Amino acid sequence: MYVIQRPPENDDELYELVWTLWGVKIPRTPVCPNHSTPFRAFADAFFARDPISIWKASRGLGGKSRTLAYLTLTEAAVLGADVNILGGSGAQSQNVHEAMRSGWNFPLAPRHMLTTDNMNESRLTNDAKVRALLASQRSVRGPHPQRLRLDEIDEMDVDILDAALGQPMPTKEIDSQVVLSSTHQYPEKTMSEMLRRAGMNGWPVHDWCWRETSNDTDGWLPGRHITRVRSMITKKMWEVEYDLQEPTIGSRAMDTEMVEKMFSGYRTDHSLAESDDPGSKIYKHHDVERGEQYVFEEPDLRKGEYVTGADWAKEQDWTVISTFRADCDPWRLVAFSRTRRKPYPFMVRLFNKRLEKYPGEAIHDATGLGNVVGDYLDEKVKGFIMTGRQRDDMLSEYISAVENRKMVAPKIESAYTEHKYASIEDIYGRGKDNHLPDTVCAMALCWHLRNRMTRGVVPVLDLEHEGGMSPWRIV
pLDDT for the residue 2: 64
pLDDT digits (tens, 9 = 90+) for 106-136: 999 999 999 998 888 999 999 999 998 887 7
- The answer to whether position 3 is within a domain reads no
Q: SS3 string of the chain?
A: CCCCCCCCCCHHHHHHHHHHHHCCCCCCCCCCCCCCCHHHHHHHHHCCCCCEEEEEECCCCCCHHHHHHHHHHHHHHHHCCCEEEEECCHHHHHHHHHHHHHHHCCCCCCHHHEEEECCCEEEECCCCEEEEECCCHHHHCCCCCCEEEEECHHHCCHHHHHHHCCCCCCCCCCCCEEEEEECCCCCCCHHHHHHHHHHHHCCCEEEECHHHHCCCCCCCCCHHHHHHHHHHCCHHHHHHHHCCCCCCCCCECCCHHHHHHHCCCCCCCCCCCCCCCHHHCEECCCCCCCCEEEECCCCCCCCCCEEEEEECCCCCCEEEEEEEECCCECEEEEEEEEEECCCHHHHHHHHHHHHHHCCEEEEEECCCCCHHHHCCCCCCCEEECCCHHHHHHHHHHHHHHHHCCCEECCEEHHHHHHHHHCEHHHHHCCCCCCCCCHHHHHHHHHHHCHHHCCCCCCEECCCCCCCCCCCCEEC
Whole-angstrom distance, CA of residue 205 vs CA of residue 393: 33
Alpha-carbon distances, residue 423 vs 229, 240, 395, 437 (angstroms): 34, 20, 13, 10
Residue 459 has pLDDT above 60, yes or no: no
pLDDT for the residue 49: 94
- The answer to whether position 452 is within a domain reads yes
- The answer on 304 and 225 residing in a single domain is no
Q: Give the distance from CA 70 to its chain's centroid.
A: 24
- The answer on 292 and 158 residing in a single domain is no
**Phi and psi, residue 197, nearest 5°:** -65, -35
pLDDT for the residue 474: 28
- The answer to whether position 88 is within a domain reads yes
pLDDT for the residue 425: 82
Residue 183 has pLDDT above 50, yes or no: yes
- The answer to whether position 166 is within a domain reads yes
- The answer on 315 and 280 residing in a single domain is yes
- The answer on 155 and 191 residing in a single domain is yes
Domain edge (last residue) among 189, 209, 242: 242
- The answer to whether position 251 is within a domain reads no
- The answer on 131 and 263 residing in a single domain is no
- The answer to whether position 309 is within a domain reads yes
Percent of the chain with pLDDT over 70: 87
Residue 230 has pLDDT above 90, yes or no: no
The CATH number of residue 151's host domain is 3.40.50.300
Q: How confident is the model at residue 429 (pLDDT cuts 50, 70, 90)?
A: confident
pLDDT for the residue 249: 63
Stretch 229-250: mean pLDDT, rounded?
Answer: 75
- The answer on 445 and 362 residing in a single domain is yes
pLDDT digits (tens, 9 = 90+) for 329-361: 999 999 999 998 888 888 888 999 999 999 999
pLDDT for the residue 327: 93
- The answer on 292 and 227 residing in a single domain is no
Could you tell me which residue, 198 or 275, shows the higher pLDDT? Answer: 198
pLDDT digits (tens, 9 = 90+) for 310-321: 999 876 678 999
Whole-angstrom distance, CA of residue 27 vs CA of residue 103: 16
* CA angle at 176 for the pair 174 and 182, rounded to the nearest 5°: 135
Whole-angstrom distance, CA of residue 318 vs CA of residue 417: 14
Could you tell me which residue, 295 or 60, shows the higher pLDDT? Answer: 295
* CA angle at 402 for the pair 462 and 319, rounded to the nearest 5°: 120
- The answer on 273 and 233 residing in a single domain is no
- The answer on 204 and 311 residing in a single domain is no
pLDDT digits (tens, 9 = 90+) for 272-314: 333 444 445 677 766 656 788 999 999 999 999 999 999 998 7
The CATH number of residue 277's host domain is 3.30.420.240
- The answer on 177 and 326 residing in a single domain is no
- The answer to whether position 4 is within a domain reads no
Whole-angstrom distance, CA of residue 254 vs CA of residue 444: 13
Residue 368 has pLDDT above 50, yes or no: yes
pLDDT digits (tens, 9 = 90+) for 206-225: 999 999 999 888 888 888 88
pLDDT for the residue 148: 96
Say if residues 294 and 274 touch (Cβ distance below 8 Å): yes
Domain edge (last residue) among 242, 269, 291: 242
pLDDT for the residue 465: 36
- The rounded mean pLDDT for the chain is 84
Q: Provide the residue range defining the domain that includes 219.
A: 11-242
The number of folded domains in the chain is 2
**Phi and psi, residue 101, nearest 5°:** -65, -30
Residue 50 has pLDDT above 90, yes or no: yes
| Terminal CA-CA length for the chain | 75
Neighbour-count burial of 352, counting CB atoms closer than 10 A to its CB (0-12 exposed, 13-18 middle, 19+ buried): middle
- The answer on 324 and 224 residing in a single domain is no
Stretch 425-432: mean pLDDT, rounded?
Answer: 78
- The answer on 156 and 51 residing in a single domain is yes
pLDDT digits (tens, 9 = 90+) for 138-149: 778 778 999 999
- The answer to whether position 279 is within a domain reads yes
pLDDT for the residue 287: 64
User: 34: left (phi > 0), else alpha (psi -120 to 50), else beta?
Assistant: left
